[in-house]
Structure formats: structure tokens, C-alpha cells
Structure 1
Amino acid sequence: MKKKQWADPSPNDQAEQHYLIEPRHLAGGGDLRHVSEFLRASGWKDQSMPGGPLAFASPDSSVRVSYDPYTQPGGWTIRGEATAQQETWVASLGRQAPVEIVAGLTDALTQPRTAHAPNPWAPLREQRWHPHHGEHFTATSPESGAWLQFHQTGPGQAYWWAGALNEHGQGWNATFSQTTPMHLVEAFTAALADPEPVMRPRGHVPPSQRIRTRSVSVRPSQLRAWQQGRVSAARAAAWARTTWATSRSRTAPAGRPYAAQGGRTR
């Protein structure tokens, strides 16, 4: 058997220095395409204006995801329109919220709900976050650099509040209206508490002594392959959902209400 011949790396595919950063909530914003390309591959409509804010709408136009760095304080806004089963809801995340954490929420928007009852505190408890039973129930990360709080001042006056800070002050904030679907808040907290480090290129590492970094050499082709793997997974899931919905519509008994043939359920 002949030995496999390996081509020499392309001159444009030389390894570049990157850094693995933990905790991830202090890693800085990151590449917006981590969020936008997944939404596009999942069938969301790109409504961004050239040179303007990023904007995507769900296939049924009921949810809109936008990123605006040009206003103050700027950042991410995710808004869901009211439906028969769901009140209007909104989530806002600051510009320095790591895209990997934002994607915890936005990825969940593209996926069907699971059968289990959501619990936003569960992922934090699993990663040994510290609970604080004060006026507003709060949980803080093991090194106290991030938090989640359910802030309630009265009946119907409540919201979820999360964020991170380092020795220089507050890094980013996130707020979720009380009406935000609980499974989305849980998806966010799971990404927030995930102990896996995130990667940033040289020159994009926050100047903080509260982060831990590890230098790695990565070729551009490797980065593209990782990004393409994420996009391909989103595209495959979108295709599977479309195929399943089409199959159900063809086999559903005549005369059944539309909601029973794939409409929203609680």
C-alpha cells in the first residue's frame, strides 16, 4: 500500500496565535458570525441593511434578533411577538456579551422545545454557582465574576438580570422580561455557566487579571472547518424539521384543526 501523500500547507494557511479564555463570561464579544451564520443556516431571514445593524427574523416572523453597535448602550435585542400562547417578550444583552453565550439563547430559538420543565437555576447549580437568598434571589459564579438574579419588586413587576464584571468594572449586562419563555432563559444560563473556555485571536484578549488564558496555534483552514461544522449542523436540523413538517401535513387526517397539524402548543 502506498503511503498517503500529504500536500504542503498553503502559504495562506499558516498557523496563527489564538487564546483559550476562561471563564468565558469575561472573554469579550467575539465574532458575530457565530450567531448570524447559525441563524441564516437555520432558515432565518437576513434583514440587515448594508452598513447598518445586524437583523434576522424567524421563518414565521414571530421573533427578531438584532445587534446594533452604533447606539448607546448598544448590543443584542431579541424580541418575540405575542401569540395565542405567549405574551410579547424581549431580551437585551450588552455588546461585550460573548457570542458563545448569546448563541445559547439564539440557537435555542431555532430548535423545538423539549418535554422537560425548564429551570434556569439548574445549569448554575450543576456548575456550583453560589445562591444568595436576599431581597431578590441571586446566584453568582464560583469566582464571583458573573451573576443571575430574578428581580421582583411587586406583582407583575419582575425581570431576569445577568451580567459579568472584572477588576475594571462592569463588562456586560443582560435583561429578560418576565414573559420571556423559561426554556430560553435556561438555554442562556446553560451557556453562561458552561465551564468550557472560548477562543479569541491575538489582539482580542480582554486586559484582565481575572481571566486564565492558554495560547494555541490555529490555522485559518481549521477555523473555517469548525465554523462550517456548526453551520452544517444548523442546516441539517432545519432540513429535518422542514421534512418532518411536510410529511405530517401530507398524512394528517382531513378536517383536523390547523393547530393540531403543526401549530404552536403550550
Structure 2
Amino acid sequence: MKNKQWQGWGAGEQAQQHYLIEPRSLAGGGDVRHVSEFLRASGWRDKSKTGGPLAMESPDRTVRIAYDPYVLPGGWSIHGAASGHQDEWWAVLGRQTPVEIVAGLTDALTQPRSAHAPNVWAPLQDQNWSDQPHPDHVTATSPDGNAWVQYHQSPGSESMWWAGAKDGQGNGWTAQFAPSTPMHLVQAFSTALASPEPVMRPLGRVPHSTQIRTTSVSVLPSQLSAWQQARITAARAATWARNTTRGSRPRTTARPHANAGGTRTRR
């Protein structure tokens, strides 16, 4: 690798102050590109209009993701079309949902589904979230009491997943999932929500909350760029691997224009 590719590192750069924030559920929205650039690198189409809200579409055109900060309450909306045995589904997440948690769900849309049965509660139990059974619902609450995931089903009504986070000052967000939302996506969301890993925010983007813990760190712009690029590179590599695997599969059926005799007639 040529040295000139690394000229961004070194004494010419000025370190910038950032903060690691815990718990991640109260870190605020963050940079939307954390979600959109990964999707773009995974082959999703950017349908956004200039100056308008973010709009992304999956390669097979069955899933659409939008982020609109210009309306109230604003936030993320995800819609999946009916296909095969899957019913139409949706999910909505508030504007202050941290992008790292949103990405837990949206990244999963780009990846093959696991053969294991999904379990939304497992990631929460692993992080010592407490269960609160109720006749109409089950709620898991984070150890600090600031975040929750609830499965609600009352007699005669459809089941519903509901989640969110809120601090003592009233700052927070909620998320809802349609009864038909694939469970592996809800599990991906709960995994990202329960993760103990802090998330990073730049100076001036730290929420005013007494419930968060912050650690000041100095970060070079080239370091930030390298971390962001690593995520994009991983998405491109995974997409390339999937496409290569599909292209290398042997054909199990005859081509549409082939006939039993193996001859072709000109018209």
C-alpha cells in the first residue's frame, strides 16, 4: 500500500473531542448515515429526493425504509411488502432512537436469516433485564430502568411489540412493530438495544440527561473515517459474497427456451 494513502494520519490533523455515552438507549439519534451508507453498500437503492427525507429501497423492492425529521413526531418508518409466506409488515421508531439501535434492525434486513428460531427475550436476559409478567403483556426492563421491551396481547386484539427509552427529564423515544413483523428482526432490534457497548457522539451532540454516563475521548478525523469505512467495506464484502454464491449455483431446471429434443427452430 502506498504511503500517500495514509497522509491523513499524523501531526497535520487536529484531534476532535467526542464522548462515549452509556447507556446507548439515551444517546440521542446520531448520524443517519450510519444506517443509510450501510444499506447503500449492501445494494439498496437511494430513493431520496434532493432536500427531502431519506428513502431507501431493498434490491428486491420488497422493503422500504424512510427517515423524516421534517414532520412531527418524525423518525423512522420501515415497511415490508407481502411476499411468499410473509404478510405485509411495518415498524416505526422515534426520531431520537439511536442510529446504532436502528441499524440493529436495518442491518439484519441485508443478511441471511438464521436457521435458529428467533428469541426476542434472549439478548435482554443475557444483559440482566428484568421480566415483569402481566395478564395482558410481558415487559422486560433494563437494569437502570430507563429502557423497556414489551409484548402486549389483550383478549380479542392483535399482539404488538413495543419498546423505548426515557430519562428523568422526559427525553426519549418509542418503537412499535406490527404483529406480522418477522421475529428475527425484532430480535436484532432487542440485541442492539440491550448491548452494553457505549456509542460515540461529537461535542455538541451529547443529550442533556442526568441518566447518562459520558467518557471524553480525543479522536482524529482520519480515525473516524477509517471506522466508518470499515463498516461500509464489510457490507460490500458480504454483498459480493452473497451475489457470488447465487451466481455459482448450478442450474436445476432447463432454460425456458430449451425443449426436450435439444433442437431450436428459427421463426
TM-score by length of 2: 0.90
What is aligned with 1:150? 151
- Match of 1:153, SS? coil
Letter in 1 for 2:42: S
Coordinate RMSD, CA, aligned = 1.6
Report the AA paired with residue 191 of structure 2.
A
State the one-letter code of the partner of 2:251: A
- The answer to whether structure 1 residue 117 and structure 2 residue 117 are counterparts is yes
Question: What amino acid maps onto 1:98 in structure 2?
Answer: P
Corresponding position of 1:213: 214
Matched residue SS, 2:85: coil
**2:197 is aligned with what amino acid?**
E
1:68 maps to 68
Q: Which has the larger radius of gyration?
A: 2
**Partner residue of 1:77?**
77
1:26 aligns with 2:14: no
Query: In structure 1, what is the equivalent of residue 193 of structure 2?
Result: 192
| CA drift at 1:158 | 1.8
Q: How much has 1:252 moved relative to structure 2? A: 2.2
Aligned to 1:252: 251
**Alpha-carbon offset, residue 9 of structure 1:** 2.4
Following the alignment from structure 2 to structure 1, what is the Cα–Cα distance between the partners of residues 100 and 155?
Answer: 33
Give the SS at the match of 2:238: helix
> 1:103 maps to which residue?
103
Deviation (angstroms), 1:93: 0.3
Q: Write the distance in 1 (CA, Å) between the matches of 2:212 and 2:51.
A: 33
- Cross-structure match for 2:242: 241
Encode CA deviations 1:109-146: one digit per residue, 9 max, x unaligned: 00000111000000000000010011310000000000
1:92 equivalenced with 2:92 (yes/no): yes
- Cross-structure match for 2:162: 161
Q: Secondary structure at the match of 1:154?
A: coil
Structure 1 unmatched runs, 5+ = 1-5, 257-266
Q: Percent identity?
A: 63
Q: CA separation in 2, counterparts of 1:130 and 1:116?
A: 24
Give the match's secondary structure for 1:169.
coil
Q: How far, CA to CA, are the matches of 1:68 and 1:157 in structure 2?
A: 27
- Give 1:155 shift: 4.2
Q: CA deviation at 1:23?
A: 0.4
Residue type matched to 1:177 in 2? Answer: A
Q: Give aligned pairs, total.
A: 249
Amino acid corresponding to residue 111 of structure 2 in structure 1: Q
Matching residue of 2:258: none
Match status 1:41 vs 2:55: no
Aligned residue in 1 for 2:260:
none
Please state whether the residue corresponding to 2:190 is helix, strand or coil: helix
* Structure 2: runs of 5 or more not aligned: 1-5, 256-267
Cα deviation, 1:187-238, whole Å, max 9, x if unaligned, reads 0000000000000001111111110110000000000000000000000000
Report deviation, 1:18: 0.3
Moved over 4 A (4+): none
- Compared with structure 1, are the counterparts of its residues 10 and 33 closer, same or farther at alpha carbon in structure 2 (3 Å cutoff)? farther
Q: Distance in 2 between matches of 1:35 and 1:20?
A: 19
- 1:175-190 to 2 correspondence within 5 Å? 175-190=176-191
The aligned residue for residue 52 of structure 1 is 52
Q: What TM-score results when the alignment is normalised by the length of structure 1? A: 0.91
